[in-house]
Structures are given as structure tokens and as C-alpha cells.
Structure 1
Amino acid sequence: MTASTQPLRRLRLHALALALLSACAAPALAATPADAAKISPEVTLKLIDLLVAKGVLTRGQADDLIAEARASAAAHRAPAVAAQPAYQTAPGAVVVPYVPEVVRQQIKDELRAEVVQQAKSEGWAAPNALPEWTQRISFYGDLRARAEDVLNDGENYREFPNFAALNAGSGYDVADPVANPVPYVNTTKNRGRMRLRARLGMHAQISDGVEADLRLASGSDRSPVSTNQTLGAGGNLSKYSLWLDRAYVRLKPTAWLSADIGRTPNPFWTSELLFDNDLNFDGVAAQASFRHSSDFKSFVNVGAFPVFNTDFDFGSTQELDKESSRDKWLYGAQAGFDWAFAHDMSLKAGLGYFLFDKLNGQFSSPCLAPTSKDVCDTDLSRPQFQQFGNTMFSIRNIVPAQGAPNGPQLQYFGYASEFGVANLHAALEIARFDPVKIVIEADVVKNLKYDAKRIRALGPLNNFKPTFDPAATGVFDGGDMGYYINLLVGQPKIEKAWDWNASIGYKRLESDAVPDAFADSDFHLGGTNARGFIVGGSLGLARNTWLGLRWLSANEVTGQPYSVDVVQLDLNTQF
């Protein structure tokens, strides 16, 4: 018998029980003594006992229904009439007892109530039920309102080139910096702004082992590391854009293995030392988790992600032949464990390696003084998005045009270092004072493909050792290491009113330890070549609603002075 027919079978048996109860009272209401004798109350009660034994009715239910039936029969007993001649029936005929109207209505009401209750509890039918497919879709999201102050030190160096702006146009004319002035980063003037982050996602359980996820997010621009929308940035109360933040299919062939394809969340367990929390990944990722015992499990995460794909028509608009592809990829692998080595203490650790293939700039072959419509063969080696801190160099090998040695020389800039980042990440959680927890987090990165000698040969344009000796200027002073340590006390995740946490951490990230494009976008206003403290805390106001306050104080690691404090007051809610 299938699960779908079981409820109907139980209802039929219950209806039979009610009919038998009615029959138990029927002799008192029968038209003649002969009718009353057709069904024996003793037989009826034995049948009811059999239904109780089979589990159709409980003993309490049977006793209550018998009492109700007898009371109903007594209340509606017909007045005595003169004896009538007994009706003659053929041998073996079945006599159906008379059931009073009140008993029939009682049976109908009880059956209706039981059907509705059973349908709701078992989920096989309900009045006005939604279609089945809606039960496989759920929505989630979050909203954050932020007040932010950016406080620059008045003694900061003023002439930090804005390489992102230089690379975004048709090239910077190095032959005439007067007519084509260098754009600089704002390092001296304070700013205050209100910001909004809104994200709305939909998760669908397509079938067993197949899921899909789609999320939209706000954002002032196409930045991969920020979904903040600065209020008033568009002017005149103009509307804001929504971006496709995530869109992926998840395959789960087994309970311990899953694979994501599309624009996926970060599949690796990392801190913002390496990847900003808002960063999502384009490509394919697989995650495996193995439970070895009740208190120890291990995990392995791998992925391949196209960071940049060459434009189909990349090449000079003046030439028939186009340039070869220069696609950029990120390949990552991480292994680790989660170990509850005591009833109130656990340790999680992960070791990973992340190869950023062709992310570095490449010096071009000789390129005849390009115009704004021309390209050199390594133009796509410049970063399509960057923040601040990595060492840069000029990537175009420009050959001045004959007869015009002082003509325009449009230049682009690329990362001087290659990137192959080893990462060790660990977190110790102490729950001895539950619900207050203590979490100590540490993270270390080292760029194994960093080569200071190679960078010097390329002619770096920034990250020089600060000195007041003019004869010692231009000495490259980059680095390949970074670390972060943080102490948190309270509830790591705020879920209800009066949940709280407080934290203090220290971060140091040298110039070329990681690509500046993907690191934390708040500390030192984003990127690398920064060191300093992060102090913060959160307080729950209601269910999934909390206030957060952070102070990020950062200075440069090397180069000219650049100190900036960022203060953020957040109101967060999620659903």
C-alpha cells in the first residue's frame, strides 16, 4: 500500500466505526422489534473492540463515541406506539438500521474535521494549498544602512598616482605630463558619507542533488569587493542599480561532496586578508567534507575561476589581424580540519595555495607610438580592476614615431609581481563561558612567486623606501608577507536582542603579498601596503537585527606616509 492511500484507508475505517456506533443505538430507534433484532449491540461492541485492537481507534475514543451515540439515541427516542405487525423479509436479507439525523450530522462534522487535520499534519492535501513547486523555493536577503567617516592624516603624502584611473582610459601620455596631468588619490581631505547595502536571493531545490541560487545586490559600480551604494552619489535623489551578484547551480551527488558552477560564493575558508567578504567567484568549485568521528572532520576545497576573458575582437582597429588571447585565471586548493578536541573547545585550520595565472603585467614587444585607437600586444595584462598598494610598472614598450620623437606616448601600467599565494588560516573557539564565546583567529599569507630582483629590473613606479637623502631615492622596498590576528568575545553571530560581541585585531599586509584587487575594501580604503588595528563590536536589537560599530586605523607599510582612519556605524538586518 502506498503512502498516498493510507490516509484514505484510515478514513474509511473510522467511518465504519462511526456507523457501527450508530447501529449500536439503532435498536432503540428501530421501527419494529424485528428491525431491532437484526443487529445485536453485543456484536457491534465486539467489532469496535476489534477496531481498537487494530489501532484504528484508541480505547478512549471508542468509549467516548459509544457514550455519545447512546446519549443521542436516548434524547431522540420516539414515543411508544402500538405494536405493529412484523414485516416479513426473505431469509438472508440485510436490514439497514435507521440512523437519526443528529447522529448523521455528527458523523459528517467529525469526519470533516479529521480529514482537514490529518491533511495538514501529513502534508498530502489542504484547502487552498499552494502548488508543490513553491515549497521548493525560498527567499533570503539582508539590508545594511551605514554612516561612514573617512579621516585622512593632514601630513599624508599627496602625490600617490591613481593607477586605476590611468588604466581605465585610452592611456596616459608620459611625453607631456603638463598637458595630461596625473590623477592622484585623495589622501588629505576627509569625507563623510551614508551608504546602503541591499541583497535579495532565491534558493531553489530543483531535485534531489540539484540546487540553484540567484542573488541580486546593490552597488555604486562594478567593483567585485563592494556592494555598497553611496546615498546621494547620483544626485537629485536618482534611483540606484541592481547587479547580478550570484547565479550558480549546485550539484550534490553525495552528502559529502558538492560542486558549484556559475558565479558562486567564496568556496574557501579565508579571511579578508586575502579575499574581501563581498567577493564572489566566476567559475567552478568543488567542496568535500569527511567526518572521521563525532568530534573530527576534514575538508578539501578546489576551484578554477576566470578572472578575465579576452574580448573576442581584441586588437587594433586599424589591422586585419587581431591579437592573441591573454586570459587570466585563479586556481585554488585548500585542505583543513575542524576538531572539537574538548567539550567546550574547537580548532579549525586550513592550508591553501592560490595561483593567479597571468595576473601580472607583461612588457610588450616594440610598439609604434600608439594612438587612442591602437593597442599594443600586452595591453590586456594591465589590471581590469585594482585598489591600492601593489607595485606597478609601465607595460608598453613605446617606439617614438619617426619625425615626431616628442609626439604622444600613451602608456598603461601593470602589476610588477606575479602572485602564487600560500595561506594558513586558523581559528580557536572557546565555549567554556557559553553563551559567551571567545574566538581567536589568525591568518598568514606569503606570495611564493614574489621576486624583488625581477621587479627592480622592470622599473617599479611606487613602493620605494622612504628617505630624506636625495641620493638614495628610488630604492624599491616592497614585500611578500601578510598576517592578521583577531580576538572576539561574545556571540560570533548576532541572532536575537541583547546578543553582543566585541573584537580587536591587528593586520599587516605588505605591498605584494596578495593582489590588491581582491583584499579587504575597508581597511586603509582597500588593497595592500597597510598595517594597523581594527576595533569593533555589535549589539542585537531584535531578532536578526543589530547595531555594529568599527574603527579601522591604518598606516602604510613602506613608501611615503599615508595614514587613514575609517569609522563605520551600521544598522543590519537579515531574513
Structure 2
Amino acid sequence: MTVLSNPHRRLTLSALTLALAALCMTPALAAPPVDASKISPEVTLKLIDLLVAKGVMTREQADDLIAEASASAASKPATAVAAQPAYQTAPGAVVVPYIPEVVRQQIKDELRAEVTQQAKSEGWAAPNALPEWTQRISVYGDLRARAEDVLNDGENYNDFPNFGVLNAGSGYDVNDPLSNPLPTVNTTKNRGRMRMRARLGVHAQIADWVEADLRMATGSDRSPVSTNQTLGAGGNLSKYSLWLDRAYLRLKPTDWLTADIGRAPNPFWTSELLFDTDLGFDGVAVKTEFDLGSDFHPYVNLGAFPIFNTDFDFGSTQRADKASSRDKWLYGVQAGADWKFSDDVKLKFGLGYFLFDHINGERSSPCIAPTSKDVCDTDLSRPQFQQFGNTMFAIRDIVPASGAPDGPQLQYFGYASEFGVANLHAALEIASFDPVKIVIEADVVKNLKYDAKRIQALGPLNNFKPNIEPLQHDGGDSGYYVNLLVGQPKIAKAWDWNASIGYKRLESDAVPDAFTDSDFHLGGTNARGFIVGGSLGLARNTWLGLRWLSANEVTGAPYSVDVVQLDLSTEF
């Protein structure tokens, strides 16, 4: 009878009367049999009043039924009504004529057919009306608005070369620095900006073991470590770009084996000491997780990812043939486990090794004073993207052009160190004070391919011991991060909260500066300092966050910067 509660699902008065008589009453209450078509209007009205009294329908719905019946009766010619037999009943008794079982079944069939037809025409009772494929596709996303202040120390050194800008251009003329000023990093002037991050994804379950995922994201540029869009950066309220941030197939042939192919999320369990959380991984990753039927669940992850692929037609105008490929790859492997000691205590840890193949710079063979259109044989060894902190050196071995010793000599710069990074990451979660949790996290990295003597021989251009002549390189190969969080690690509803404090130290050549945290020390390596923050839930999956990142240089000229971020975030 729930169909009566919706005016768009109203049945006819005759069908209602017959249904009530057939389904609600029993033969035990019946009087002598009569023709069902001769039920008096008074009986119908009493039945409707009984429905109202029992709460099956409202008085408004009852009045609508009566009005419809009256209008229908007025539009039809009057017919003779046979006199109804009189029955002697006790005062106040309700008399319901008896209806045979075969008639009751016919009424039910007719009523069912009428309801089904009405449901199909109005679309209110078809739970699988949508196409089957729509049930295998889900949409997800998140949005973050940020107010950010960058506060530089007034005592900072103001002449750090901006190697990223130099390498992205046509080269720096080392023979004429006056007419071609060296671009430098802003380390002295404060900045305030509003930023936004918006991401929208679609996930499709293709088959039981095949999934696909696509995600678009904002971003001011092609940076691999940031999807932030600075508001007003384009000027004149111009629109913003969207980038393809995720595009991968996930194959899961068994419960313990997963393979991602394409541009996928980080397959390794790492902190931002090594990889920024916005970083995507192009390539192939295989993840295994074993359920041993206990509280100890080991896992092994591995992958191969192209960092840079040589342009198909890359070559030099100084040679008739094309240059050989110099592709760059990241190979990674990590093993670890989730270990639940008790209902309140669990530990997760992972030990990994990450080889960045051919990412370091190489000195070229003698190259005759190249112009902006010329290519030397190791030009591709320069970084295609970098932040700040790694030790750099000049990669072109420039030979002055014959008869023009003072002509342009355009130079590029590469990483002085090779990178093979060992990583140990662990987190201990204590839930003894549920819903408040305590999470202690620690992360350590060490570049096993760091060679201080080799770097010194290449002629480094930065990261020197301060105030010492002659210049002596003072880089490092290690880093660590510790953090304490109290509260709910993930904010899910209003008044969920957390607070955290951490300390980070990352030496100049511990990891490639291109892929590490883009916020601490404004991105890159050669930084140390504190990170303090907290979050408060405002509604379901909506929270307010505040962070203060205070960082100084580890070595070299002074460079201290504080970053304050106020975030309003939501996800769906």
C-alpha cells in the first residue's frame, strides 16, 4: 500500500475498493455473498475513513479520491441500482460483503497489472532502469583553496643561479655575462598568493580483474610535483589549463597481484622526503600483497618508469647523422609489511631502492661554440625539470669558434651526482585512545651513488663551504624525516581533527631535487627545519587545514624561508 503515499502513484477508486475488500478482510467477517460490482458508496466511504484512521493514507489523499469518484460519476449517465439486501447488524458494526477466492485472485492480478503499467510509464519502480555499464563507472575528485605566504629572511644570499630557467632556454652565454644576465632565484622578497587545486577523475570497472582510471587536474605549468594553480597568474581573469594527471589500466588477475600500466599513482609507500604526493609515475608497476592468515601481511612492489624519452628526430646541425638516444629511467623495488600487534597497535614499514638511470649530467666531447640552433652530444643529460638544491656543473666542453674567440658560448648544466637511493620508511599507529590516534612516522634516505671526489673533479657550481677560499664542495648524500600526529589521520566528518609536528633534513644530493616535496623550502633539497600543522573537519569530507613550514639551508650560502598555508579542502 505504499504506492498510496505518492500522489503521482494514485490508484483508481474502484481498484482501491476492490483491493481492500479482497486483501484486507477475511471471510470470517463476511456477510452473505453478493455481487462485488454492487458494493454501496457508503461502504466505500467507510473503507476510506478506516484507511485514514489506520494511517495508511492522509485525509488529503482520501479527499482527492472521493473528488475523483464524484467527478467520474457525474460525467456518466445514471443507472438503476438494485436494492441492497438489508442485514441486521449491531449498532456501529461495519458490514463487508463476501468476495469469492477466484474473484479475489482476479482482482489481485488486475491490480498488479495496473500498478506495473503505471510504474513503467512513470519510471518510479524500475531499480535497474539505467544501462548496465553505468553501474561500473564512478566519478571522484577533490578541490582545495589555499592562501599562502612566503616569508624570506632578510639576510638571505641573493645570487643563487636559477638552473631550471637556464636549462629550459637556449643556453647561457658564459662568454658575455653582462649582456646576458644570469637569472637568479628570488630569496629576498616576500610573496603572498592564493592558489587552487582541482582534480576530477573517472574510474571504470571493465571486468572482474580489469580497471581503468582517468583524472584531470589543474596546474600553472608542466611541473610534475604540483597541481596548484596560482589565482591571477595569467592576468585579466584568464581561464586555466587542465592537464592529464592520471591515465592507466589496472590488472588484478589474483587477490595478491596488481599491475598498473600508464600514468598511475605512486606504487611505493614513501613520504615526501623522496617523492612529492602529487607526483605521477609513467610506466609499469607491479604490486603484490600476501595474506598469510595472520596479522602479518608482507608486500613487494616494483616498477620501471621512463623519466625522459629522446625526441625521435633529435640531432645536431653540426652533423649529418642524428644523435643517439639518451633515455632516462627510474627503476624501483620495495619490500615491507603491515604488522598488527594488537587491536590497538600496528606497524607498517618498507625498505626500498630507487635507481635513477642516466639522470646525471655528462661532459660533452669538444663542441665548437654552439649557437642556439646547435646541439652538443650530451645536451640531453641536463634535467628537463628541476627545483633547487642539487649540485650542478657545466656539461658542454666548448671550443671557441675559429676566428671568433669572443663569440657566443652557450652553456647548459647537469646534475653532478648520480642517484641510487636507499629508503627506509616506517609508521607506528596507536589507537588505544580511539577515536584519537597517535601516529609516529620516520623516513630515511641515502644516495648510495654519491661520490664527493667525482663531483669535485667535475667543477661544481654550488653548495660550497661558506667563507672558505678556494671554494670547496660541501654537499651531502643523506636525509631523514620524523613526524608525530595526534587525532584522526584522515578527516571524514565534522569535528574530526588532527595536529602534527615534524622535522626534516635533506642534504644537497640525497635525492633528485626534481621529485621531492615542492612546499618545504619552496621545493628541492639542501634544506632542514620544522613542519607544524593541523586540520579540523567542518562537514563530511570537508576540512580546514593550517601548516607552517620553516626551513634553512643545510650548507652553502644562507637561504632561510618560512611558508604558511591555510587550506580549505573537500573531496567526493
2:97 to 76, 100, 113: 76
Are the counterparts in 2 of residues 465 and 473 from structure 1 also a CA contact under 8 Å?
no
CA distance in 2, matches of 1:324, 1:546: 51
Partner letter of residue 105 of structure 1? I
Partner letter of residue 543 of structure 1? R
Alignment of 1:334-349 (within 5 A): 334-349=334-349
Can you give the 5+ residue segments of structure 1 that lack an aligned partner in the other structure? Answer: 1-17, 32-73, 79-96, 118-124
Which residue does the alignment assign to 2:479? Answer: 482
Which residue does the alignment assign to 2:106? Answer: 104
How big is the shift at 1:422? 0.1
Please tell me whether residue 509 in structure 1 is matched to residue 506 in structure 2: yes
Which residue does the alignment assign to 1:138? Answer: 138
Which residue does the alignment assign to 2:10? Answer: none
- The alignment partner of 2:292 has SS state of strand
Please tell me whether residue 562 in structure 1 is matched to residue 559 in structure 2: yes
CA distance in 2, matches of 1:253, 1:325: 35
Which residue does the alignment assign to 1:45? Answer: none
CA distance in 1, matches of 2:161, 2:461: 9
Which residue does the alignment assign to 1:6? Answer: none
Alignment of 1:204-219 (within 5 A): 204-219=204-219
Are the counterparts in 2 of residues 29 and 98 from structure 1 also a CA contact under 8 Å?
no
Partner letter of residue 370 of structure 1? P
- The alignment partner of 1:166 has SS state of helix
Which residue does the alignment assign to 1:419? Answer: 419
Which residue does the alignment assign to 2:447? Answer: 447
How big is the shift at 1:98? 8.1
CA distance in 2, matches of 1:368, 1:116: 85
CA distance in 1, matches of 2:552, 2:145: 27
CA distance in 2, matches of 1:238, 1:251: 40
Are the counterparts in 2 of residues 22 and 103 from structure 1 also a CA contact under 8 Å?
no
How big is the shift at 1:28? 6.7
Q: Could you give the per-residue CA deviations for residues 167-224 of structure 1, whole angstroms, max 9, x where no partner exists?
A: 0111100011001110000000000000000000000000110000000000000000
CA gap of 1:514–1:104, structure 2 versus 1, over 3 A, is same
Q: Could you give the per-residue CA deviations for residues 319-362 of structure 1, whole angstroms, max 9, x where no partner exists?
A: 32110000000000000011011221111100000000000001
Partner letter of residue 150 of structure 1? V
Which residue does the alignment assign to 1:350? Answer: 350
TM-score normalized with structure 1 length? 0.81
CA gap of 1:128–1:266, structure 2 versus 1, over 3 A, is closer
Are the counterparts in 2 of residues 116 and 126 from structure 1 also a CA contact under 8 Å?
no
Partner letter of residue 486 of structure 2? V
Are the counterparts in 2 of residues 26 and 99 from structure 1 also a CA contact under 8 Å?
no
How big is the shift at 1:152? 0.2
Which residue does the alignment assign to 2:365? Answer: 365
Partner letter of residue 478 of structure 1? G
- The alignment partner of 2:160 has SS state of coil
CA gap of 1:289–1:114, structure 2 versus 1, over 3 A, is farther
Which residue does the alignment assign to 2:274? Answer: 274
CA distance in 2, matches of 1:372, 1:508: 39
Partner letter of residue 475 of structure 2? G
CA gap of 1:98–1:266, structure 2 versus 1, over 3 A, is closer
How big is the shift at 1:293? 3.0
1:526 to 523, 536, 541: 523
- The alignment partner of 1:453 has SS state of helix
Partner letter of residue 307 of structure 1? I
Which residue does the alignment assign to 1:499? Answer: 496
Which residue does the alignment assign to 2:15? Answer: none
Between stretches 309-318 and 560-569, larger displacement belongs to 309-318
Are the counterparts in 1 of residues 34 and 97 from structure 2 also a CA contact under 8 Å?
no
How big is the shift at 1:296? 1.1
CA distance in 2, matches of 1:344, 1:386: 42
Partner letter of residue 236 of structure 2? N
Q: Could you give the per-residue CA deviations for residues 205-264 of structure 1, whole angstroms, max 9, x where no partner exists?
A: 001100000000000000000000000000000000000000000000001110000000
CA distance in 2, matches of 1:442, 1:360: 28
Partner letter of residue 142 of structure 2? D
How big is the shift at 1:405? 1.4
Which residue does the alignment assign to 2:86? Answer: none
Alignment of 1:58-77 (within 5 A): 75-77=96-98
Are the counterparts in 1 of residues 534 and 546 from structure 2 also a CA contact under 8 Å?
yes
Please tell me whether residue 538 in structure 1 is matched to residue 538 in structure 2: no
Which residue does the alignment assign to 2:239? Answer: 239
CA distance in 1, matches of 2:224, 2:453: 31
Between stretches 319-328 and 305-314, larger displacement belongs to 319-328
Which residue does the alignment assign to 1:199? Answer: 199
Which residue does the alignment assign to 1:550? Answer: 547
Q: How many residues align?
A: 488
CA distance in 2, matches of 1:284, 1:215: 18
Which residue does the alignment assign to 2:230? Answer: 230
CA distance in 2, matches of 1:240, 1:261: 28
Partner letter of residue 515 of structure 1? P
CA distance in 2, matches of 1:561, 1:459: 21
CA gap of 1:112–1:307, structure 2 versus 1, over 3 A, is farther
CA distance in 2, matches of 1:127, 1:508: 57
CA gap of 1:522–1:279, structure 2 versus 1, over 3 A, is same
Are the counterparts in 2 of residues 352 and 423 from structure 1 also a CA contact under 8 Å?
yes
- The alignment partner of 2:175 has SS state of coil
Partner letter of residue 293 of structure 1? G
CA gap of 1:557–1:77, structure 2 versus 1, over 3 A, is closer
Partner letter of residue 76 of structure 1? P
Partner letter of residue 475 of structure 1? Q
How big is the shift at 1:295? 1.3
Can you give the 5+ residue segments of structure 2 that lack an aligned partner in the other structure? Answer: 1-21, 36-94, 120-124
Partner letter of residue 477 of structure 1? D
- The alignment partner of 1:450 has SS state of coil
- The alignment partner of 1:342 has SS state of coil
CA gap of 1:113–1:394, structure 2 versus 1, over 3 A, is same
CA distance in 2, matches of 1:539, 1:109: 55
- The alignment partner of 2:341 has SS state of strand
Are the counterparts in 2 of residues 499 and 540 from structure 1 also a CA contact under 8 Å?
yes
How big is the shift at 1:77? 4.9
Are the counterparts in 1 of residues 32 and 97 from structure 2 also a CA contact under 8 Å?
no
Please tell me whether residue 457 in structure 1 is matched to residue 426 in structure 2: no
How big is the shift at 1:317? 3.6
Q: Could you give the per-residue CA deviations for residues 92-127 of structure 1, whole angstroms, max 9, x where no partner exists?
A: xxxxx8844x7633454467779999xxxxxxx926
CA gap of 1:346–1:401, structure 2 versus 1, over 3 A, is same
How big is the shift at 1:364? 0.4
Q: Could you give the per-residue CA deviations for residues 519-556 of structure 1, whole angstroms, max 9, x where no partner exists?
A: 00000000000000000000000000000000000000
CA distance in 1, matches of 2:442, 2:246: 28
Which residue does the alignment assign to 1:395? Answer: 395
Are the counterparts in 2 of residues 301 and 335 from structure 1 also a CA contact under 8 Å?
yes
How big is the shift at 1:292? 1.7
- The alignment partner of 1:226 has SS state of coil
CA gap of 1:349–1:111, structure 2 versus 1, over 3 A, is farther
- The alignment partner of 1:220 has SS state of coil
CA distance in 1, matches of 2:429, 2:483: 12
CA distance in 2, matches of 1:462, 1:548: 36
Q: Could you give the per-residue CA deviations for residues 62-100 of structure 1, whole angstroms, max 9, x where no partner exists?
A: xxxxxxxxxxxx83359xxxxxxxxxxxxxxxxxx8844
